[in-house]
Amino acid sequence: MAAVAVKYPAFQDLGVEVLAVSVDSVATHRDWQEKELSKMVKGGALYPMVSDDGGKIGTLYGVFDEEKKVDLRGRFLIDPDGVIQSAEIVSAPVGRDVSEVLRQVRAFQHHRKTGELLPCGWQPGKPTLPPEKESSDLSGKVWEAWKPSKAF
């Protein structure tokens, strides 16, 4: 959450809303914000932290661990139509990559605007593939238009 707090302005620039959801109480969120997060990131998290009392939200998204009574670490990219376009669930020992989330947001937004397909590792300014309705010409020949080296 600290890395998201640092990169929050980049999310805002992209028009993205960020919500943090956990089974912790509002008081626990406040304490964590004041005693931990604000010491790591100036101003702490400027996005809402939602208390998922009883794991109702986590259950809807498939991340509530009934045995441990916690929401697993997950992130979901939901488009303006309310459709989940990307989901990642990571166990507690491993943190998530905020730069990858931002890359995916940019890719989904680019696709939504242009219809172009975005290959692995796509970054703004890198080559794209034609929209799906036009890419039938590439069937069996994608290797001519895109090389794995372009992903890095």
In the chain, CATH 3.40.30.10 sits at 2-96
**For residue range 12-68, what is the model confidence (pLDDT) as tens digits?**
999 999 999 999 999 999 999 999 999 999 989 999 999 999 999 999 999 999 999
- What pLDDT, on the 0 to 100 scale, is given for residue 138? 77
DSSP state of 117: B
- What pLDDT, on the 0 to 100 scale, is given for residue 144? 82
- What pLDDT, on the 0 to 100 scale, is given for residue 1? 87
Q: Which amino acid is at 16?
A: V
- Would the pLDDT of 88 be above 90? yes
Beta bridge partners of residue 64, listed in sequence order: 71
d(CA 80, CA 114): 16
- What pLDDT, on the 0 to 100 scale, is given for residue 148? 84
Instruction: Tell me the average pLDDT of the chain.
Output: 91
- Average pLDDT, stretch 82-105? 92
* C-beta of residue 117 within 8 angstroms of C-beta of residue 135: yes
Q: Name which of 85, 142, 137, 75 is nearest 111 in CA terms.
A: 85
* C-beta of residue 61 within 8 angstroms of C-beta of residue 76: yes
What's the topology of domain 2-96?
A: Glutaredoxin (3.40.30)
